Structure 1
Amino acid sequence: MKSSICSPRTIRKLFLMGAVLLSTCTLQSTLVFATCVLQANPSQTRFSIKLQNATLEEFVKQMEQKTGYSFIYGEEVCLNSRITLAVRDLTINEILRKAFEMQPIGFEISGKHILLHKRPMPQKTVSRRFTISGYVTDGASSETLIGANVLDSRQRVGTATNPFGFYTLTLPEGDAELSFSYLGYETRHSSFPLNKDTVLNIRLNTNNELAEVIILSDKKEAGIQATAMGAHEIPMAQIQHTPAVLGEADILKTIQLMPGVQAGTEGFSGLYVRGGGPDQNLILLDGIPVYNADHLLGVFSIFTPEAVKKVTLFKSSFPARYGGRLSSIVDVRTNDGDMKRYHGALSIGTLTDKIHLEGPIIKDRTSFSLSGRTTHTAFMGKAFSSDGDEFNYYFYDLNAKVNHKFNDRSRLFLSFYHGKDHYHYNFKESYGTSDCYESKNGLNWGNTIVAGRWNYVFTNKLFSNTTVAFNSYRMILKGRAKEENIYSSSQSYFYQYDSEYRSGIRDWSFRTDFDYTPIPSHHIKFGVEYLYHTFRPETNTSKMKEEENGVTEQDTLYNSISNSYLHGHEASVYAEDNFDIGSRTSLNAGVHISLFNTQGKNYFSIQPRLSVHYRFDHGFSVKASFSQMAQYVHQLSSTPLAMPTDLWVPITKNIRPMRANQYSLGGYYTGIRGWEFSIEGYYKQMRNVLEYQNGVSFFGSSTNWEEKVEMGKGRSMGIEFMAQKTIGKTTGWLAYTLAKADRQFKDGSINDGERFPYKYDRRHSISLCLNHKFSERIDIGASWIYNSGGTVTLPEQQTVILKPDGSIEQTDYISKRNNYRLPASHRLNIGVNFNKKTKHGMRTWNISLYNAYNSMNPTLVYGKRRDYDYLAYKDEHGKYTGGYNTSKLFIKKITLLPIIPSVTYTYKF
């Protein structure tokens, strides 16, 4: 008999040694022995092995060295052919099953021994394949779970649910052993004989044990997630535990803490991703573009966290299904509504009040989700009045969705969003009893989105989603000035001037997407989209009325309309395939083809996308990607803040689409449980980017805007590092970005044709975010942000000439574009939650400090002269002829967001 335990004598010696050991060991050694046995359990321990044309003896020797198991077999046990095997992270059972799959060898595991025996040679048969498909949902609410992992442990293949919670997996006939997992939920296993196509809908229950700690990430990758690069799936728990201004958890503020992303202006929510501008980010709400995602000039975003289910950020490796922007995609998905029970949340904060309700309309068939948010000042208009002045500002958001399930194949979603900012200022002054002057000014802006979405499962391998939507963004600025004078019963004067300024963009869109999974190693997506844009850059209307002594002197309506309506037709088609090459390599290859028609001219673009992921042993992997993007719309702005007067305009006959090529390479390590490390480098080339010409700017008027800008090229490059602790009572991440971005314009039109730094070119960015859960009742979150200074264009020297006639002529000297580097900014935000369970829910008090140590970071800067003295000149007769003053300027900064405390009360029921 061939054996590593080779004879009866040896067996007897081992038996006697074991008896002596058991009679003399201490309690401690017994526990250690039991622990080792537990760890060696084949259902828990996983190994990796690689063999090429190995004999049975070679296979046994390597297995004994790696696993500590002993093999016992007789001379009749032999191979039909040599073993070639390369597997990793498999149990003993799985390794043996693969090694002996087509061999006349069976096995049995007994303790630390593996017994091999002869069996009849398996017959090679053409195995039939069947498809398992269905939805993965929350066990309590039936809310679909996006990106849940589905894995077959026998075949070691898997997939992930799509943005609508649907999955499909095709396996050979036989026993299926599936596991379903999702962040913060208990893993569910399902075993059954697979002999026909099967619909399997799975409900996962929340893991109460995991709920006691904050979990930021799940390192498991399956299906389309395997090749994603420069992508961050941001759990809502992470957003809700990140402290922000006035205690308002904010999606865009949390995204700013990711490597490669920064805020344009300190403390505000604009996104500048990898050297791109704010209009180069495609922000989607359930797949519908949002053109203005800011409240309060960018202090907050329009997304109410209670209404949101999942947020995904793409900075590179853009999947082919996305198009229309150069720098990033922010994909926000909202709650579908609980189909089982009613629940909600009520929140009262320093600035806003929020309410969220959801529940079944028809249990297990139809549900609703409703969220609202507004500021306290919405009902306090008179509270800000004094001495003839009255002003007020407020904003609100309303999200609503209805979800109806016809059957397992067909679902319908109706969604609605409306949000608005409102500001008004009224002034009234009286002179005596008969004369008065009155001024009223108002500014309103907001978004409205209405969408219908239909999911349909054509076959267990083909899933479709069709969306029809209407999207509108508009801004209205109104003003009235009125003066009335009554001199006597027969003498009076009346004057009134009304003005109105409107701007906006409106879209009608149709989109249909298909998910097709013929086999587990291929996940194909394809679809088409059409958008009909109506741009209304601006419309000016004014009316003047004047009366004297009751007689109308003037009553005129003026219409000054520039670019009243501009239309654009945007059509696109895409296809992408996420597929595996062997057990280590995954690729995502796709193409996005688009056509934009405006002013009778067509622009056509073919945009290839490719990303590859290679997995090494021990948790190491590398990814590389190439993406080409095109953009057909621009946002005109002259201020660093997100102003509602910024205007969206389409490309024209003379202004070509912006284009970008981005190359990325990254390394990743997840070999330490609960930790994730990544380093990514990128290089991005941009063409046809816009910049204002020297000496011109845009102030709320798009008239002749094409003549005010130049098209040039840009580039950005950088290295991003991120270390993240994902599980435990203490979680968080450290992100560091080293980056450079610049622009260049030909013909010397800007900066003499030389390269100059982009205005938000910041060399270093650091963000540190930590969360700690002391107990069920108390947890704390803190974030520290450091950014080296951006750039600004300011006069280096200013000459003021005082002419003899008393007029002043000013000349500014500027050596180059963006010639000043601003000082670095940094701040610390802290938030503490005090939780208490009640009979019907949970109540939480949040106390936060924004900018805790009151760092006076610059929000706005300007140049200021040091003196105003003039050098006077006189002629030979002593007569004054004028004067001048030349002086250098120094930078003056304005800080809008110093230390800000806040208190928020939330009750969940």
Structure 2
Amino acid sequence: MPKKRHKQFLIVLSFLLLSFYPKNIIAQEDVGDSQNLVTYLQILEQRFEIKFSFVDEDIDKINIVIPENQNLQEILLNLQEQTQIKIQKLNTRYYTLTKSTTVDICATVLDNFKENTVNGSTIEVLGSSVAGITDENGAFNFENIPRDAIIQIKHIGFKPLFIAAKELTGANPCKTLLLDEKFEQLEEVIVHQFLTTGLSKEPDASIQLQTNDFGILPGLIEPDVLQTIQALPGIKSIDETVSNINIRGGTNDQNLILWDGIRMYQSGHFFGLISAFNPYLTEKVTLIKNGTSAEYGGGVSGILDIKTNNQITDYLAGGAGFNLINGDIYGQVPIAHNAAFQFSGRRSLTDFFNTPTYDEFFKRAFQDTQIKGGTGQSDEINRTEDFYFYDFTGKLLYDINENHKIRVSFININNHLDYTEQNITSLRETNSRLNQTNLSIGGSLESNWSDVFSTKINTYYTHYDLDSENTTVNSPQILSQENEVIETALVLNTRFQLSDALHWLNGYNLRETGVFNFSEVSQPPYFNKIKNVLRSHSVFSEVEYRSPDEKLFARGGARVNYVENLDTFSEYIVEPRLNVNYELSQDFNIELQGEFKSQSTHQVVDLEQNFLGIEKRRWYIADPENALVPLPITKSKQGSIGLNYDHHSLYVGAEAFYKQVNGISARTQGFQSKDQFNEEIGSYDVKGIEFLINKKTADYSAWLSYTYNVNNYTFDDVVPSTFPNNLDVRHTLTFAGNYTYNDFRIGVGLNYRSGKPFTKPEENNPVNTNFFPSRITFQEPNSSRLPEFLRVDTSALYDFDLLPKIKATVGVSILNVTNRKNILNTYYRLNSNDEVETVESVSLGLTPNFSFRLKF
């Protein structure tokens, strides 16, 4: 019994202790512990004999850190800072708690890898105009932010973070936020450095140029896009211009050139000697020789896809520079945290002063350099010119949010020439005027609707105009010509990721092209005006597969075109495409590409003898029913197979190809013989092999490339019906290298190619006087060849810091170091005495250039 009473006593004592817990245990609460706010207010009520009035749902889920303070007012102030709850004293006993609609927030942003500060992060209060960036410690703070607002935190290289403002209320210290690094799965690069830094070969055999990382190539002191690609096997310019690039035996108008998704009908300045595209805002250039994606339409030869910088930055960046031909400036200006504007401008210096570079370019562009009559005497010719060119571009970048982006691009290109030529021997004077302009604008909307589905809508308007007039002063003849191209297009692409390895592309393309051609001659009277409109609807679909072990890349699809000339014809064209790359072993890859393509615009060549030594090309639309210039739709089919070896610092590649192009007109090929004005329709086929060996290290790169091809025309109405193509250069060889030492880069290269075909007059009876006017009697077409072409080029660049945030580059280059006279073309014409004149177009002589550039 005593033990039982003892037990009852202990139970009663425990109950009494528990009943006094709030008053007696409060002092034993550990400062810094987490506590529910409602519970803590009850404790304060008992300790200080006060009462709090509040709405339960406003604070019942709020936890606080127990303050260190013992004074009531200090405790309440601390609670306000922690919770952003407004505490108001009504009298000595009663207090009210009110949930505020706004809060003060702060946080520190770190990366989630090594928890380094991420300064310069963009902080945006969504749905408002409030925004800012983190300081050098990665911290930020804002006052009076809506409690329910969402805060977006972004930084390049990290995934965006979204967090509610109420989770960042003024804690002390401020909350730490970790940004996840953003990893993008990039396409596998087979050759990381291809000839020089910034050039790479992709799994689909395309070549990519990253101008920001571009190293150096012989003869180049700037990353000129159209000059750079000529260093690659299978690509050359027979006449040394960038506006007449020949890819695997095709003419320049058979190349599709895109700038920010806009088709370009003009690509050069200085009549093709300088690229019209400023390289310093260019982000990526993709060159495709075969195995084209189904999304590309037009151009039966190669594709050059130029894309400008597409990233928004929160800092000002740009640069400027000059060389002995032109000066330029470019930059990107942030407008807001989600918007920026890019611009570039370039203008020639040619109408201010002459330089050695300009003199050589002038002689190359405007030359009947050696006009030899039947007596072997050369005519003395004086020339005066007023010539200049300029281009400028603009681009607006706007991110609606992380998943929807708008881009608007604009480009304007202009060439102007007033030219007078006086033949001192014959007292003949000719005045010429030539204006060439291109104005284009395009826009796109890129949307990521989910992790597996995205779309892109692209639209553009482009306007090209060539206006020329040629007047003979001492005769009544005036020749006026105009060529105008207006094109609008709409492209919709959808991409669906069926799995990690399988991607599906679908799309639709609507394009309308109008071409106007006007010609008038005063004596003898002649007038011609042609205006045509062509509309095409295209649908395309393709599937791309990359095996999980990355050994196999395969892409296959097709493009279906419906082409209609609104007045004369319509046609359906199906274009299958295939591209396969398989890794036979760790170092060996085999490539297989094939494609069908078509194009419905062509350039008719107005030869040198038609316009004072300057070759002009005028665009026409396919129209096989046209009585004056019948041009069918040109179609091509091409196949190639290649084998690549890439082991550490050594790359060896060989590729065999065959291409057949049908539906070409003699008017588009630039014949300079008896067939030059004929309307025959024919074809050409080219087969060959390309070889490249490239030894590369961190300091140097050396390479040898060789191309062999046989390129033949077939025109059924010409005798003989099969003969060498005007671009049939059998052998092309390049041996070059570059070396980098600290901030100094140098490149040296040798270019060789065998002579191109041309047609000579008959030796025994060169002039047929049975016609009026008399005509030259030619041998079989392209039965002779020019001498071989050989040129050595060199260039050097030196980089240095001009100021802490301004980098400078000085460059020097020399084209044709040996000053070798290379004959690019030879043609013949009759003078007033019915004597045959031989006209030779000669390559650039020794041409120095100098550049100075700033970048910040």
Q: What is the TM-score normalised by the length of structure 1? A: 0.64
Partner residue in 1 for 2:266: 292
Root mean square deviation, CA, Å: 4.2
CA radius of gyration, larger in = 2
1:623-642 superposed matches below 5 A? 623-639=591-607
- Matched with 2:561 is 594
Question: Which amino acid is 1:792 matched to?
Answer: F
SS of 1:625's equivalent? strand
Compute the displacement of 1:734 (Å): 2.4
Which structure 2 residues correspond to residues 162-177 of structure 1 after superposition, within 5 A?
none
- Please give the alpha-carbon distance, in whole angstroms, between the structure 1 residues aligned to 2:669 and 2:686: 23
Tell me the residue number matched to 2:655: 680
The offset of 1:301, in angstroms, is: 1.6
Matched, 1:815 2:779: yes
Secondary structure of the 1:357 match is strand
**Cα contact 2:685–2:713 (8 A) shared by 1:** yes
Are 2:530 and 1:564 aligned? yes
Aligned counterparts, 1:520-531, within 5 A: 520-531=500-511
The partner residue of 1:371 within 320, 340, 344 is 344
2:449 corresponds in structure 1 to: 458
Three-state SS of the structure 2 residue aligned to 1:512 is strand
Among 433, 451, 461, the alignment partner of 1:442 is 433
Q: What's the offset of the Cα at 1:816? A: 1.2
Shift of the alpha carbon at 1:389? 8.4
Q: Deviation at 1:695?
A: 12
TM-superposed deviation, 1:541: 9.1
**Secondary structure of the equivalent of 1:297?**
helix
- Distance in 1 (CA, whole Å) between partners of 2:620 and 2:499 is 44
1:720–1:738 CA contact under 8 A, matched in 2: yes
Unmatched runs of 5 consecutive residues or more in structure 2: 1-117, 122-155, 161-178, 186-191, 360-380, 423-427
Out of 770, 775, 792, which is 2:742 matched to?
Answer: 775
Deviation at 1:455, TM superposition (A): 0.8
Q: Deviations over 1:395-432 (max 9, x none)?
A: 1110111100110111110110001000113799xxxx
The answer to whether the aligner puts 1:306 opposite 2:277 as a matched pair is no
- Alignment check: 8 A CA contact 2:217 2:228 kept: yes
Q: Does the Cα contact within 8 Å between 1:535 and 1:650 map onto a contact in 2?
A: no
The question of 1:714 aligning with 2:684 is answered: yes
- Corresponding residue of 1:86: none
Change (3 A) 1:646 1:141: farther
Secondary structure in structure 1 of the residue aligned to 2:560: strand
- Give how far 1:379 is off: 4.7
Q: Distance between the aligned counterparts of 2:119 and 2:281, measured in 1?
A: 17
Match of 1:533 among 506, 510, 513: 513
Q: Deviations over 1:762-787 (max 9, x none)?
A: 111112332211222x2112232111
What is the CA distance between 1:252 and its match in structure 2? Answer: 1.1
Change in CA separation of 1:852 and 1:294 when aligned onto 2, cut-off 3 Å: same
Amino acid at match of 2:505: K
Q: In the alignment, residue 637 of structure 2 is paired with which amino acid?
A: N
| Cα deviation code 1:238-276 (max 9, x no counterpart) | 75622447x554211111121111112145542111121
Amino acid at match of 1:472: H
What letter is aligned with 1:476? D
Alpha-carbon shift at residue 675 of structure 1 (Å): 3.1
Matches of 1:391 and 1:683 in 2, distance apart?
44
Q: Matched residues in 1 for 2:583 and 2:120: separation?
A: 36
Match of 2:238 among 264, 270, 282: 264
Whether 2:710 is the aligned partner of 1:740: answer: yes
Q: Does the CA contact (< 8 Å) of 1:636 and 1:649 recur in 2? A: no
Paired amino acid for 2:623: I
Matched residues in 1 for 2:180 and 2:683: separation? 52
2:403 aligned residue: 409
**Whole-Å Cα distance in 2 between the matches of residues 479 and 638 of structure 1?**
13
* TM-score, reference length from structure 2: 0.68
Determine the C-alpha separation between the residues in 2 that align with 1:322 and 1:695: 27
Q: 2:413 aligns with which of 410, 413, 419?
A: 419
Q: Please give the alpha-carbon distance, in whole angstroms, between the structure 2 residues aligned to 1:563 and 1:809.
A: 25
Residue 857 (str. 1) matches residue 822 (str. 2): yes
Q: 2:700 aligns with which of 713, 730, 751?
A: 730
Q: Distance in 2 between matches of 1:267 and 1:569?
A: 31
Q: Distance in 1 between matches of 2:278 and 2:641?
A: 34
Counterpart Cα distance in 1 of 2:180 and 2:257: 34
Q: Which amino acid aligns with 2:391?
A: D
With over 3 angstroms needed to count, the CA separation of the structure-2 counterparts of 1:273 and 1:140, relative to structure 1, is farther
CA contact (8 A) 2:200 2:208 kept: no
Match of 1:898 in 2: 845
Count of aligned residue pairs for this structure pair: 640
Q: Is the 8 A contact 1:266 1:858 kept in 2?
A: no
**Residue correspondence of structure 1 range 12-411 to structure 2 within 5 A:** 201-202=182-183, 215-217=197-199, 225-226=202-203, 228-229=204-205, 231-236=206-211, 241-244=216-219, 247=221, 249-266=223-240, 269-336=243-310, 338-363=312-337, 365-379=338-352, 391-411=385-405
CA contact (8 A) 1:214 1:729 kept: no
Mapped to 2, the partners of 1:249 and 1:379 lie a distance apart of 25
- Cα 1:562–1:680, aligned 2, differ >3 Å: closer, same or farther? same
Distance (whole Å) between structure 2 residues aligned to residue 808 and residue 562 of structure 1: 23
Q: Hey, what's the Cα distance between the residues in 1 that align with 2:309 and 2:119?
A: 14
Confirm or deny: 8 A CA contact 2:533 2:621 kept in the other structure.
no
The one-letter code sitting in structure 2 at the alignment partner of 1:734 is L
TM-aligned CA distance change 1:642 to 1:627, over 3 Å: farther
Change in CA separation of 1:644 and 1:479 when aligned onto 2, cut-off 3 Å:
closer
Give the one of 444, 463, 466 matched to 1:475.
Answer: 466
Using the TM superposition, give the Cα deviation of residue 711 of structure 1 relative to its aligned residue in structure 2, in angstroms.
1.5
Partner Cα distance (2:120, 2:472) in 1: 55
Partner of 1:762: 729
8 Å contact 1:445–1:644 — kept in the other structure? no
Deviation by residue 1:516-547 (Cα, 9 ceiling, x = unmatched): 112111111111111111101225498x9xxx
* CA 1:821–1:323: 2 relative to 1, 3 Å: same
Q: Contact 1:262/1:273 (CA < 8 Å) preserved in 2?
A: yes
**Alpha-carbon spacing, 1:864–1:273, altered in 2? closer, same or farther (3 Å):** same
CA contact (8 A) 1:378 1:395 kept: no
Distance 1:354 1:341, change over 3 A: same
Residue aligning to 2:664? 689
Residues 801, 808 of structure 1: 8 Å contact kept? no
- 2:765 pairs with 799, 803, 810, which one? 799
The answer to whether the aligner puts 1:656 opposite 2:612 as a matched pair is no
- TM-superposed deviation, 1:844: 1.6
What does 1:541-552 align with in structure 2 at a 5 Å threshold? none
2: distance between equivalents of 1:470 and 1:448?
8
- Displacement of 1:497 in angstroms is 9.8
Indicate the SS of the match to 1:279. helix
**SS of 1:303 mapped into structure 2:** coil
Deviation of 1:647 after TM superposition, in Å, equals 3.2
2:800 aligned partner, one-letter code: K
CA shift at 1:823, angstroms?
A: 1.2
Cα deviation code 1:14-66 (max 9, x no counterpart):
xxxxxxxxxxxxxxxxxxxxxxxxxxxxxxxxxxxxxxxxxxxxxxxxxxxxx
Partners of 1:764 and 1:901 in 2: how far apart?
A: 27
**Alpha carbons 2:811, 2:852 under 8 Å: kept:** yes
2:518 partner SS? strand
The unaligned stretches of length 5 or more in structure 1 are: 1-138, 143-185, 191-197, 205-209, 220-224, 429-436, 484-494, 545-557, 700-704, 871-883
